[in-house]
Amino acid sequence: MRRRLLKGSALVAAACVTSLLAALAPSATAAPVSAPASQQSAGHGTSPSLKRVGYFTQWGVYGRDFQVQDLDTSGTAARLTHLNYAFGNVDKNGRCFLTPTPGESDPWADYQRPLDAATSVDGVADTDTQALAGNFNQIRELKAKHKGLKAMISLGGWSWSTHFSDAVLTPASRKALVSSCVDLYLKGNLPKDGVRGGEGAAAGVFDGIDIDWEWPGSAGDTDTVYRPEDKQNFTALVREFRTQLDAYGKQQRRHYELSAFVPTADEKIDAGFEVRKVMRDFDFVNLQGYDFHVSGEKTTAQQSALFAPGDFSVHGTVESWLKRGAPARKLVVGMPFYGQGWTGVTGGGNGLGKPATGPAPAKWAAGYADYKELEPLVAEGKFKVHRDLLRGHAWLFDGTTVWTYDDPLVLATKAAYVRARGLGGAMAWSLDGDTADGKLMRALDRGLGR
């Protein structure tokens, strides 16, 4: 009965999306809600298909105890087309690197940590004589089990975009940066640490590179350097990546993919991206589809609404990239597997758009909770679910605390939008926020169509 109700609600939501497309995006109404045959996915190895991209966090193997194996046991790996490994870092010399540096690099998690049989994808314990262990080896095993699954190394992220601007100032520095990343991650030439690492140790683990520079030409984390010329230098960096990936791919007789995580705000797009130029070299880009509002703000608000006239939204982000010349088929919509939360909310009503005293308490970080933390709050009756089906978002409210998040119904709505607009697929940040049985990824996969 529960599955039937969810399916019926999803159909209502999809109908709402279709109606809103007609009202808000007339140019899109010619596209059917069901994906054209050329975009239907028949599983891994079928091309073209709607992409299902998910980020796996390096640090999640510690406190959250979310291992690569969990992607297999949850059913998520079978539903992904791309697994993005977060993150690789660039040092002050403008090179990709993997040396033990607290807060900057973790080769132990990446390729040195041995896993026992119980936590290994293939059920075989790592030995003390193998060159590759850790997450990289588990990704290799995952790909062997799920043919066609691609793994991308994501470079940067919010905390590790510090040195991008300095690293791309000249043709020589860009060439050296890209060469170091190709050597480390695609050729797999890892630093030697006892038996671990060495030339070619991680060859074949990664199938491409994802650039997560946050943000070229505009402010990011407090120590991240940015300058006006980042915009042109980013274009040149992307061109250099494409050139070197194609050259190495020719040697290997294969195609290495290139993607990026890109922002929602118009000012950040215009400050850092020559959209028409860079999109020629990208296989696809992952659009920021969340953190439209965050728990550090003084008023509660949606963080990932599909439609929000006059505010940030998924639809607004898609339109911003389309009108600047990005092909729809290369736009992959980012979706959160977590919620943004506020506490000390006053003013009554449903809690949204109300003043708050600060970020809500949570397990890992104030104001940020994995979906698997939020789901029990509903099941236990501690929070009431509020929905705006027309705008495509949901939130929880208990009278004093608000959490704005995406649940399976919201994801189904967004998947219908992706198909209706002829977009490239969906991306999830991050997979460790899902339930043990992969409930969110399953809903997203079904919505995109198999």
pLDDT one-digit tens code per residue, 332-350? 999 999 999 999 999 999 9
Structural contact between residues 194 and 180, judged by C-beta atoms closer than 8 angstroms: no
Least confident of 1-15, 167-181, 193-207: 1-15
Residue 88 lies in a domain: yes
1 pLDDT above the threshold of 80: no
27 pLDDT above the threshold of 50: no
Percentage of the chain exceeding pLDDT 90: 88
Give me the number of domains the chain comprises.
1
Give yes or no: 274 in active site.
no
Q: What is the pLDDT of residues 43-64, one digit of tens each?
A: 343 334 899 999 999 999 999 9
- What pLDDT is recorded for position 43? 39
How far is residue 156 from each of residues 150, 165, 227, measured CA to CA in Å?
19, 12, 17
Which domain covers residue 246, as residue numbers?
A: 2-339+417-448
Select which of 214, 240, 373, 375 is catalytic.
Answer: 214
Residue 401 lies in a domain: no
SS3 for 103? coil
Residue 209 lies in a domain: yes
Q: What is the CATH number of the domain that holds 140?
A: 3.20.20.80
351 pLDDT above the threshold of 70: yes
Residue 330 lies in a domain: yes
Residue 318 lies in a domain: yes
Distance CA 202, CA 187 (A): 7
Output the CA torsion 135→137→138→141 (10° steps).
Answer: 160
Residue 206 lies in a domain: yes
- Residue 236's φ and ψ, nearest 5 degrees, are -65, -35
- What pLDDT is recorded for position 49? 87
Token pair for residue 435? 């339930």
Task: For the full predicted model, state whether its pTM sits above 0.85.
Answer: yes
- What pLDDT is recorded for position 213? 98
Cα-atom radius of gyration of the chain, to the nearest Å? 21
Residue 361 lies in a domain: no
Q: How confident is the model at residue 450 (pLDDT cuts 50, 70, 90)?
A: low
Residue 378 lies in a domain: no
38 pLDDT above the threshold of 60: no
